[in-house]
Amino acid sequence: MPSVYLDHAATTPLDERVLDAMLPYLREHYGNASSVHALGRRARFAVESARERVADILGAEPSEVIFTSGGTEADNAALRGVLTAPDRRGSGLVTSTVEHEAILRPAEALRDAGHPVTILTPPPTGAVTVEQVAESITDETGLVSLMVVNNELGILSPIREIAAVCRERGVPLHTDAVQAAGLYPLDVNDLGVDLLSLSAHKVYGPKGAGVLYVRTGTPFEPLVIGGAQERRRRGGTENVAAVVGLAEALALASEAAEVERSRLYALRNRLAGVIRSAFGEAARFNTSMEDSAPHILNVSFPPVEGRALDGEMLLLGLDVAGVHVSSGSACTSGAVEPSHVLHALGVPRETANATVRFSLGRSTAEADIDFAAEQVVAVVKRMRG
């Protein structure tokens, strides 16, 4: 039976070229990058070479790149690092209700610790506006954190315009760019951001590797202490193979970004067209077709004649049919509560529960889209009787 993987926003398969780049550092070049002998020096050279490659892609200085264990650590380090630094502008945070849990949970912890936290609710479009950010910044604000691409809906935020407001007000801006990597240019000077988070496994790299960019001069207190690694900004022995893999994956994805973006838009629109044709208003498209990334399509199936679909059974039915998708963020897929993003946008609970997030990737072809669309139509119609 054929099967189609449409959950690339949760994770991507490891690129063979990335694995080849990593293997020497899992086998013969196993030295600790902090050791002074030959094996250690070789490992150190690999780490610093990877740092230079990442910095070049971001338009940053190598000294501004911190390697982490992934996007979640990078997000946590950004929020806590800036807002607990002795030289911070203020201790307050501005973020939004549709951010990843890796932002919202640290934001709650900071609030519990006494930090002023403002969580903005975006309009139905799903993206916080420049005006909302401008109105929310006060003398207490020490950081604004908003993602480039929403991980559940694919909605794009006006980061450049928001950055201009933050810069004018003297407030650092952090952005979670995990879902934008490999699809959009991420030059930090063009974006105007002061901190930026990335994750390797979203761009066909290894799990357990990420990046936090911190602009020189930005207040920052290390989240992980206990070692001099990463210029004393993140203690712990470097995962050399993962760092090498991250740099290779990011470079490969960045090189192909423009072509891949165009290809995925066509495929996503093809999938949306079939679902819209089959269900009309009996399907709710939570992803805007205009202001969104090309690889994510989020669709809910509202109750019909008072009958709501069981969201868990919907995903299971699609899985049995060979279509591997999710209902939203993989980090919260075990929760019985509907998506916090859809809740924030006012989507009714019974509709939000019956939601599918399709996320496309390099391996996705037209035949995969046609097969997936056929199975979605069949499963939903069967469930609706």
* Number of Cβ atoms within 10 Å of the Cβ of 279: 19
Task: Report the candidate in 242, 286, 232, 182 with the shortest Cα–Cα distance to residue 46.
Answer: 242
Return the structure tokens found at 62. Answer: 């190598």
Task: Report the candidate in 51, 55, 10 with the shortest Cα–Cα distance to residue 215.
Answer: 55
> What is the arrangement of strands in the sheet containing 355-359, beginning at the earlier edge strand?
284-285, 296-300, 355-359
- Please, are residues 204 and 249 in contact by the beta-carbon 8 Å criterion? yes
Convert 97-131 to b/e letters by CB count within 10 Å (16 or more is b).
ebbbbbbbbbbeebeeeebbbbbbebeeebbbbbe
Q: Hey, what's the torsion of the CAs at 20, 25, 29, 34, to 10 degrees? A: 150
To which H or E segment does residue 230 belong? helix 229-232
DSSP at 90: -
Rounded to whole angstroms, the Cα distance separating 100 from 352 reads 17
Using only C-alpha atoms, the chain has a radius of gyration, in whole angstroms, of 21
Task: Please provide residue 115's backbone torsions phi and psi, each rounded to the nearest 5 degrees.
Answer: -80, 135
Return the structure tokens found at 312. Answer: 């868990």
Return the structure tokens found at 260. Answer: 């891949």
Return the structure tokens found at 366. Answer: 């037209």
Return the structure tokens found at 60. Answer: 């940053």
Which residues in 301-351 belong to E strands, given as ranges? Answer: 323-324
Return the structure tokens found at 212. Answer: 């936090």
Task: Report the candidate in 293, 245, 295, 233 with the shortest Cα–Cα distance to residue 54.
Answer: 245
* Number of Cβ atoms within 10 Å of the Cβ of 134: 15
Q: Which of 224, 278, 282, 331 is catalytic?
A: 331
Q: Is 166 a catalytic residue?
A: no
Tell me the catalytic residues: 331
